[in-house]
Amino acid sequence: MIQLILEYDPAPPFSAGSPQSAAPETLAKLRDLTAGAREQRQAAIERAARRLATAQV
């Protein structure tokens, strides 16, 4: 999971630094563990986008 978080994907023997090379169960576990943070980040992005859309230039 650390490799995925850092997107550390060098040559073998390390092979889990990207969603494409990580084991499906590792990817699923990481997504479960970070779901709350991803939702908070998405909400913050949406708030910022709304503020930018209504800001006067």
9-56 pLDDT per residue, tens:
777 677 788 888 889 999 999 999 999 999 999 999 999 999 999 987
Within 10 Å of residue 22's Cβ, how many Cβ atoms?
A: 19
Query: Rounded CA gap, 53 and 50, in Å?
Result: 5
Assess whether pLDDT exceeds 90 at residue 6.
no
Report whether 5 contacts 30 (CB < 8 A). yes
Query: Rounded CA gap, 28 and 42, in Å?
Result: 19
Report whether 33 contacts 42 (CB < 8 A). no
pLDDT band at 57 (very low <50, low <70, confident <90, very high): low
